[in-house]
Structure 1
Amino acid sequence: MSKSLVAVFALLAVASAEHFYVTNNNTGLACIIVDGDFMFNLVFQEGNATQKYNVLLNNTLNVDGDCNAVVNNQSVQTLSITFNPAGQSARYPKEWELNLVFGTSSNEAFKIIDYTLKTQKTDLVPYFGTFVRDEKDAGDVTATETNAYKCSTAKLGLVGGSTIDIKTANIIAFAQVNGTVFPANQLYDVCYLDARTSDVVPIVVGACLAVLVIVVLVGYLIGRARAKRQGYASV
């Protein structure tokens, strides 16, 4: 494949990711930046039956937020996204709404502490409801110091077994970014799943190399022993 085609595919991959930000009206700096592709894995209970649907965030209608909000006497920052899901049509014109709330502490630069998803009927999903955060499966979207958060798939659990998946997630909050995109020198805290995977890879590679060395050494010793036996026989 030519380098030009690779570049085109790379640009398309970047362009396909959703991009959201919230700007502080007092400073003009971005406090929240979120990049990623959103998929909603929804579970609806209808009597004794369980219905499951996977829906993509398709068309953003409006983005709102607050860099200086207060909830329960705690300083928070909020991001609210109204959008049309994939499969939306004129038959069901009502939009969906996703709300994210970021908090901070002495140990964390930021963390998603709450979130809700309000859905409406679509041609693909014949049910609707409001999904709230599952405290037992709230995910690990958090970072320290001035770092951002990075994860191949960030999962936010919802009550009832539903989840919000953010693919190729890059997230920062409680920041002061001059612009609306991540700085080129931005540092990231990698999510637990990706960090664990990155640790496993070198261990596996090292084990394979060790096995290869042992096989080569055994082969060498066997070959040397055979050569000696052949030398004795010729004598």
Structure 2
Amino acid sequence: MELSHTVAALLVACFAGLGCIQAVTLDVKEGNSTCIKAELSASFSITYDTISSTRTVQVPLPDSATVDTGSSSCGTDESLPWLVAVFGPGHALGLSFSSNGSLYSVANLTLQYNLSDSATFPEANSSDVVTVVSATVGIWAAINTTYHCVSPVTLRVGGATVTFSDMRLEAFMPGNDLSPTESVCMADTTTTTAPPTAAASTTAAPAPTPSGTPEHGTYSVKNNNGTVCLLAQMGLQFNISYVSKSQNKTVQDLVNLTPSQTNVSGLCEASRATLVLTEEPNTTLSFTFTLNSTTNKYHLSGISLLAMWPDMTARFLASNTSLEYLRSSLGRSYMCNAEQTLIVEPTLSLNTFRLQVQPFGVITDQFATAEECQMDQDQMLIPIIVGAALAGLVLIVLIAYLIGRKRSHAGYQTI
């Protein structure tokens, strides 16, 4: 009896507000053609002010959510495609999309919530409709593929957070159904990578065999209008640890990226730029750069590597989206001729050689004035210091010589 009362209470709580967290299917059409389709579950954590304090509520996206046909569109040459879902009394979730021809991404995420909805926001001290926007979303996929992410992905949007889970999404669709070819999110590839077999032993790996300095490559990403929006030149080398089939243990290896066998793609947005390097057939390396519009500074915020090499027992994935490398100013490029090591995860680091990159503010397809890395500055400073020290030593010797000579002449003065 107590169990039945508990179940009944849960059901009442589940359906009393905006509904349970469950999958919702949303699509945007133009005529009879579908251009955006999403199958997802979502919930929102929203903090608001009450008369005496603050309160945080969890709001699910209910299965009654529908597409707002007035705000949603497939986009034009002047406007981005939009998917806007409305639910409850005045709440809405919006996703806009951009593309560079090879990749598409969520350009903006917008959440609108109505504080006058007393059932959802009890004792709110305002009846305003609040709109918050995030331009840093991190949802992207190759054109003509479905973005698929089973793992929960939480995004900060103003004073709220949005959590997506079990998400299948496609924009710029060529047909009315989601593509069977999927671009799997990093969170899923991290959790689904097969662990080493029980027989495989993990031992301290010997130093990797040097593979020589990697070839210097030049890479660029273009906007929809064909202008270059990201430039990069560098030699790249993976320092990677993985379980070897042939040796049945964890090994460490140095592997160079070969520019002549590498395809380049990417995406440029207002505050986020992505460079994707794919070396056929089984290596994809991506860099994500983030621009702080307040300080006008940018940095390398994310690196991920997905690889399946012949000697690997399972697909290798390493990803880190909280990096602070290659920091420079908007309107300038970042340069480092010295070899750098960018640590991604314990199993992966990247060695860069003669690197120069500019992910924002590229003009006339050329690098802007470079801000040099500290290692280059130190290397230039050392000969200056040595030269100054030698010059000081010569000066001291010369002064000592002159003083000694003067004393010598003083001993033979005429009486």
TM bin (shorter chain) = 0.5 to 0.7
Give secondary structure in 2 for the equivalent of 1:43: strand
**Aligned partners of 2:182 and 2:51: how far apart in 1?**
44
Deviations 1:76-103 (A, max 9, x none): 211111112xxxxxxxxx2312221111
**Aligned partners of 1:158 and 1:69: how far apart in 2?**
26
Shift of the alpha carbon at 1:173?
0.2
Alignment of 1:200-211 (within 5 A): 202-203=194-195, 205-206=196-197, 208-210=198-200
1:222 alignment counterpart: none
Give secondary structure in 1 for the equivalent of 2:147: strand
CA shift in 2, pair 1:103/1:48, >3 Å? farther
Deviations 1:184-220 (A, max 9, x none): xx11111111112223xx23x42x4436xxxxxxxxx
Q: TM-score, normalised by structure 1?
A: 0.63
Preserved contact between residue 107 and residue 137 of structure 2 (Cα < 8 Å) = no
**Aligned partners of 1:36 and 1:82: how far apart in 2?**
14
Task: Give the structure, 1 or 2, with the largest relative contact order (CA under 8 Å, sep 6 or more).
Answer: 1
Preserved contact between residue 22 and residue 30 of structure 1 (Cα < 8 Å) = yes
Give secondary structure in 1 for the equivalent of 2:73: strand
Shift of the alpha carbon at 1:144?
0.9
**Aligned partners of 1:133 and 1:168: how far apart in 2?**
22
Deviations 1:149-202 (A, max 9, x none): 011223332012x22122200000011213xx425xx11111111112223xx2
Q: Residue type matched to 1:112 in 2?
A: V
**Aligned partners of 2:59 and 2:46: how far apart in 1?**
8
CA shift in 2, pair 1:46/1:173, >3 Å? same
Q: Which has the larger radius of gyration?
A: 2
1:19 aligns with 2:25: yes
Alignment of 1:31-42 (within 5 A): 31-42=35-46
Shift of the alpha carbon at 1:40?
0.9
Q: TM-score, normalised by structure 2?
A: 0.37
Alignment of 1:86-235 (within 5 A): 94-108=89-103, 110-120=104-114, 121-126=117-122, 127=124, 129-135=129-135, 138-152=136-150, 153-160=152-159, 162-178=160-176, 181-183=177-179, 186-199=180-193, 202-203=194-195, 205-206=196-197, 208-210=198-200
**Aligned partners of 2:132 and 2:192: how far apart in 1?**
32
Shift of the alpha carbon at 1:116?
1.5
CA shift in 2, pair 1:57/1:156, >3 Å? same
Residue 76 of structure 1, aligned match among 65, 73, 80: 80
CA shift in 2, pair 1:192/1:122, >3 Å? farther
Q: Residue type matched to 2:200 in 1?
A: A
Q: How many residue pairs align between the two structures?
A: 171
Shift of the alpha carbon at 1:67?
0.8
1:60 aligns with 2:65: yes
* Gap runs ≥5 in structure 2: 1-21, 202-415
* Gap runs ≥5 in structure 1: 1-15, 85-93, 212-235
2:404 alignment counterpart: none
Preserved contact between residue 96 and residue 108 of structure 2 (Cα < 8 Å) = yes
Preserved contact between residue 62 and residue 83 of structure 1 (Cα < 8 Å) = no
1:29 alignment counterpart: 33
Preserved contact between residue 95 and residue 110 of structure 2 (Cα < 8 Å) = yes
**Aligned partners of 2:153 and 2:68: how far apart in 1?**
20
**Aligned partners of 2:145 and 2:40: how far apart in 1?**
17
**Aligned partners of 1:61 and 1:146: how far apart in 2?**
25
Q: Percent of aligned positions with the same letter in both sequences?
A: 19
RMSD: 2.6
Shift of the alpha carbon at 1:106?
4.1
**Aligned partners of 2:67 and 2:35: how far apart in 1?**
18
Give secondary structure in 1 for the equivalent of 2:189: helix
With 59-68 and 187-196 compared, the bigger mean Cα shift is at 59-68
